[in-house]
Structure 1
Amino acid sequence: MGDKQTPRKLFDGFINAAVSIIDSPVTWFRERVVTPNRESYPWYHQKFRRVPTIDECYTDDVICFYEANSQFKRDKAVDSEILAILRIRMEDCNMFHGPDAVAKCKSLVETYKEAEGNWFCKYGDLGFHGNVKDAYMKQKHRMVWERRHGPVGSGMRDAAAAAGDE
C-alpha cells in the first residue's frame, strides 16, 4: 500500500514545485509593484472636481467657460455610456425572453425610455459640436416654452387659456 502512494507524492511535489517557480515571480511583482502604486496612479478611475456651471461664470471669464465646457463633455460621455448600457440590457432581455419579453422586460424598457428622453432633453439637437452654452440656451428656451405653453409634448395652449393663467 505504501508503494502506490509514493509515485503520487512525487508527482504532486513536482507539480507544486513547477507551479511555485511560475507563480512566485508573478506574485512578487503584484505585491511589490502593482498594489503599492495603484493608489497613486491618476488614471485609475480619475475623479475630477466639479467646476462651476456656465450660469455661474462671468461673461468675460474664458477659463470658467472652458472648465464648464470640459465638465459638460465629460458628463455627456458618461450619460451616453449609461444610455448604451441600458440599451444593451434591454436588448439582451428582449432576446433572452423572446415572446414573453413584453411582460418580463417592462421595467427595463421603461427605465431605458425615461433615460433616453432625459438624454435627448439635455443633449439632443445640439449636434457633434454642441457646447455647454448651446445646452444652457436650449434649457432656457425650453423653460420659457413650458411657462408659456405647458409641458413640451402636451400641445400648445390657446391664447385665452394662457391669458387666464397670468
Structure 2
Amino acid sequence: MADDNAPPFAKVAMGVFKIIDAPVTLFREKFVIPNQEKSTHKWYHRRFRRVPSFDECDVDDPICMYEAEEQYRRDKLVDNQILKILRQRKIECLAWEGPDASRKCKKVSEDYETSATNWFIKYGDIGASATGIDAYMKQKHRLIWERRKAAREEA
C-alpha cells in the first residue's frame, strides 16, 4: 500500500480525517441521498397562475380586480429584480474590462438599456405607490397617443 511509505504525521492526519469524515459520510449515504432521490421535483419559487388583467375584469368584480392588482405587484417586483440584475452585470462588466469596456460590454449595456427603457415605459412616471389601474391607464393613454401620432404622419 502507498500508506505504508507515508510519513508518520501524514498517517496521523489521515486517521483524524477518517474519524471526522466517517460519521458525516455515513449520515449522507444513509439519510440525505435516499431522501433526495425520493423527491425529484425541484421547488425553486412559487408559481402563480396568470389571472385576467384589468381590461378583462368586470367593473363590479372586486375579486378579479384584487387578483389583477396582486399580479401587477408580483410582475413589478420581478421586473425590478431583472433590472437590478442587468444593472449589476453592466457595472461588473465595466469594472472588469476597464478601458475595453465600451467594446466588450456592448451587449450587456444594450440589454440593460433596452430593459430600463421597457421598464420606464411600463412603470415610469406613475410613482412608487401606483396601482395596476394607474399602469393600465398609462398604457391606454400611450396607445392612444401612438395612434394619433401615426394618423398625423399619414395625413
TM-score by length of 2: 0.81
Aligned partner of residue 127 in structure 1, secondary structure: coil
- Looking at structure 2, the residues matched to 35 and 52 of structure 1 have their Cα atoms a distance apart, in angstroms, of 38
Q: Which runs of 5+ in 1 are unaligned?
A: 151-160
**Aligned position for 2:76:** 76
Distance change (3 Å), C-alpha of 1:120 and 1:12 = same
Alpha-carbon deviations, 1:27-63, whole Å to 9, x = none? 544335566568497xx41111111111110001100
**Aligned position for 1:130:** 130
**Aligned position for 1:22:** 24
**Aligned position for 2:104:** 104
Identity %: 44
Coordinate RMSD, CA, aligned: 3.1
Aligned partner of residue 46 in structure 2, secondary structure: coil
Residue 18 of structure 1: CA displacement?
Answer: 2.9
Letter in 2 for 1:115: S
- Looking at structure 2, the residues matched to 91 and 2 of structure 1 have their Cα atoms a distance apart, in angstroms, of 51
**Aligned position for 1:154:** none
Alpha-carbon deviations, 1:48-105, whole Å to 9, x = none? 1111111110001100001001111111111111111110111111111111111111
- Looking at structure 2, the residues matched to 77 and 59 of structure 1 have their Cα atoms a distance apart, in angstroms, of 26
Count how many residue pairs are aligned between Structure 1 and Structure 2.
153
Residue 149 of structure 1: CA displacement?
Answer: 2.3
- Which sits farther off after the overlay, 29-38 or 70-79? 29-38
Residue 107 of structure 1: CA displacement?
Answer: 1.2
- Looking at structure 1, the residues matched to 106 and 3 of structure 2 have their Cα atoms a distance apart, in angstroms, of 66
Residue 3 of structure 1: CA displacement?
Answer: 9.9
Distance change (3 Å), C-alpha of 1:132 and 1:21 = same
**Aligned position for 1:156:** none
- Looking at structure 1, the residues matched to 81 and 68 of structure 2 have their Cα atoms a distance apart, in angstroms, of 20
Distance change (3 Å), C-alpha of 1:126 and 1:25 = same
Letter in 1 for 2:75: D
- Looking at structure 2, the residues matched to 86 and 131 of structure 1 have their Cα atoms a distance apart, in angstroms, of 25
**Aligned position for 2:113:** 113
- Which sits farther off after the overlay, 72-81 or 11-20? 11-20
